[in-house]
Structure 1
């Protein structure tokens, strides 16, 4: 019955969201030219190196989502209402019951991970403060958080072919099998990355099991961040590739370990970019981009998790207005960023596709898990060298057959419910910040 009603319940409201987003056009002025751009193009402009452009686009971007806030409020409320009705039918009171089950994750593991992150937040606030100094402002705005540093130099850009070649070269250093797979994906044109109007924000990878192929969708603009995004999605595709010959019942893996494969691939590219920097300035710029991933997973994703947790509890009591959603979102961002910003993005709940995913609630914490889990795996791979390739593939092949805790115990010999592993993984990210602060001491 739930599956039948899902067509006009979960799926219907999720599809409705996509329909509304496709109508959004944001008026922007870039290089003296005024034009209307899609939501996806406007999102990329929020990382424009010119702060004046970002300020103007951020205002227009927020206004565009706010103008349709009632439509998005209706959509989110009814999608969540259907989900909560399902939960009541199953006698589930904890809104995390389903996402934890989907991710085959113990709630104690999730709590341990967040607690360790919170212990180290001060380090990442220091990074945000230093970045504000480099921008010549007191505090960063939300749109500054992921904007690139330029240090009075031209921002690095890769043509699509250059980005592809860089990915193949770096993949090959770790795993020839991963590089060979990525090469095949490029040659077979499995990737739709054109920067054009009417595309929604973000990127994703989808599998086609019967054809034994994958497809990737994103908007590529040549910045180092989008090269890393492309690598991220190829990591997903590689995961599907290596698990394809497992028994069918063992090929359905959880999102948190799916994000491990993708962020592992992304880390290869981000780390290589920093190590191959030709100058101190270029190294600072690329290191800032790399640290941006830690900010995304430890602060931005944390805000999404806090918002969604509180929204679902509020939704149990009835419909939640657009204004209340704005307040819940901004409060979550303030807490997650520890009030380090001067301006937040209260309409984020309407602009983020992940809140409207039909199949998976709490499409947030698995990213943070995958990032930290992949950091531990990545540095173990660096220590062991090329021989780690087969161990990594073996881990991926077991992701559909085990709980997350079992997977970590078998392949890494660790207990995820204890803080030790998470502390070690955080040390890696903290080290990046410390290096960044040292390199920029003489610039402020």
Structure 2
């Protein structure tokens, strides 16, 4: 889920974006028709009773259940998850359409509080599951094949066993969750409310960040300095949010006895800490041959003595900066998907035709791009803030990949469809790769090929190098917060400590860039999420190399991997392709693809 900062102006009202064509909007009626729909009231009533009945029937009794009884218990829990997920999907998506609307904010908050209250009695379920003896649970699983299907999710639940607190404390933390959510909403609403003035035009953060890809260097500089000015004016609020959420996490981690701040994320991702560290170390070791080398090339292309931060995502001087309208973007992505396998095109088509994408930039609309799976008996929804840039086409390919993955995994059911974040980025990054390869194949000149290659390298650096730098920043932030309150200057210093190392010696850093950590939503919403992007990119590069080496039968194996959802560990999912992410050399394979593209760009200079 690649989340970008949010716009609060209408792109179709600005001169640069009026020719995008008709942009699709969500039709949320497949979830509920309105916030006062009778079906929504019915489901809330059902959920309250179902949770009460579940607790009455099973609390203190899980160890007495036979295989059939435990399976029925899991099915009932799955149904509760489905209805609660449907309600929260509707409330959340509706809020994301207009975060500045008080009624929508209240509706989301009220739904969250009701569902938290309804589901508090269910906290016992995972606690008692974790108290079952391994031998006892193993026998039950051996007796019932349908029950055994749930082993992967039971294993993930039981991985938390060493960090489990008392029943009373777990219920307390469950109830307290709504307070943490409030800090996240403060962050979102603060971002949504920021306004920036660039050359006399008032913009939100999305529109301002978009200027960093303009051909006009003075426009990029003006946008960068205005971002720094506004972030600086609001830095105390952002520092307070980060201090509070990091402290909250530290307290919970300490009580649970988690050895590191990252442990919880690794457990939820079903990935071993050493695999993540191998990825991180491989990427950091590759900085010189990736980002450092590429940005030195780009410095020469731009004719600069030194690069500034506003040059990082600048288009090349030879690049045609015309706007890509929506019908063209749809055609490019659909052609790439269908060329790989017609089944992929068939799954993707309804997103465009049935109101499953919300693409326009509108006042108050929430952070930039994501695919939300909702629940397994509805369908995913994709959100974009489409401004007609070539990168926006790649973002469409990315999020549509998530959507295809979520559709294919839905047959696993509510508890097994959800893919750990490390694998959740596989289909999205693969979708980008398919789109890029199709565009490269259709390039009409060496100049067009060079622009496409450079754009892909930049996207990969942003996905791999930048995200690992983000991960290192978070590691430093959470470690420092454990020692005490952090001032804005403290956080600024941590940010700058990773920037020069990752971007390389071609760059200077303007005054004010030290505050650019402030707008990254992942740090607040999903601590340590960011390494999943690098994981996904490296995995997809290795997958695509396997596809090129042995295309026969690849499509079927790929579809089976996506259909598996969260029902298999990454080792089992990658085995049919002859790949193993726990092999330290695995990451070098993925990074060598990026390095190879840079080799090709360097060869074009000779």
Pick from 167, 170, 173 the counterpart of residue 333 of structure 2.
167
2:407 is the counterpart of 1:241:
yes
- Alpha-carbon contact 1:303-1:333 (below 8 Å) kept: yes
Which ranges in structure 2 are unaligned for 5 or more consecutive residues?
1-171
Q: SS at 1:208's partner residue?
A: coil
**How far 1:230 moved relative to its partner?**
0.6
Task: Name 1:433's counterpart in structure 2.
Answer: 598
Task: Name 1:51's counterpart in structure 2.
Answer: 217
Pick from 410, 415, 428 the counterpart of residue 262 of structure 1.
428
- Alpha-carbon contact 1:77-1:315 (below 8 Å) kept: yes
Pick from 467, 480, 486 the counterpart of residue 301 of structure 1.
467
- Alpha-carbon contact 1:228-1:269 (below 8 Å) kept: yes
Task: Name 2:482's counterpart in structure 1.
Answer: 316
Superposition pairs of residues 121-270 of structure 1, within 5 angstroms: 121-124=287-290, 125-151=292-318, 154-209=320-375, 211-270=377-436
Task: Name 1:412's counterpart in structure 2.
Answer: 577
2:575 is the counterpart of 1:421:
no
**TM value normalised by structure 1:** 0.93
Task: Name 2:175's counterpart in structure 1.
Answer: 4
**How far 1:210 moved relative to its partner?**
5.3
Q: Distance in 2 between matches of 1:242 and 1:93?
A: 36
Runs of at least 4 residues off by over 6 Å: none
**How far 1:381 moved relative to its partner?**
2.3
Task: Name 1:13's counterpart in structure 2.
Answer: 183
Which ranges in structure 1 are unaligned for 5 or more consecutive residues?
none
Q: Distance in 2 between matches of 1:285 and 1:413?
A: 33
**How far 1:332 moved relative to its partner?**
1.2
- Alpha-carbon contact 1:40-1:200 (below 8 Å) kept: no
- Alpha-carbon contact 1:132-1:139 (below 8 Å) kept: yes
RMSD of equivalent CA atoms: 1.7
1:360-403 deviation line (CA, Å, top 9, x unaligned): 32121010000110111122223444732221111122340223
Task: Name 1:273's counterpart in structure 2.
Answer: 439
**How far 1:201 moved relative to its partner?**
4.7
- Alpha-carbon contact 1:38-1:198 (below 8 Å) kept: no
- Alpha-carbon contact 1:314-1:320 (below 8 Å) kept: yes
**TM value normalised by structure 2:** 0.69
Q: Distance in 2 between matches of 1:172 and 1:150?
A: 33
- Alpha-carbon contact 2:265-2:528 (below 8 Å) kept: yes
* Higher CA-based Rg: 2
Q: SS at 1:36's partner residue?
A: strand
1:283-322 deviation line (CA, Å, top 9, x unaligned): 1111111001221133211221111000000111121111
Q: SS at 1:347's partner residue?
A: helix
Task: Name 1:106's counterpart in structure 2.
Answer: 272
Cα separation, partners in 2 of 1:107 and 1:432, compared to 1, 3 Å: same
2:194 is the counterpart of 1:28:
no
Q: SS at 2:373's partner residue?
A: strand
- Alpha-carbon contact 1:212-1:241 (below 8 Å) kept: no
Q: SS at 1:216's partner residue?
A: strand
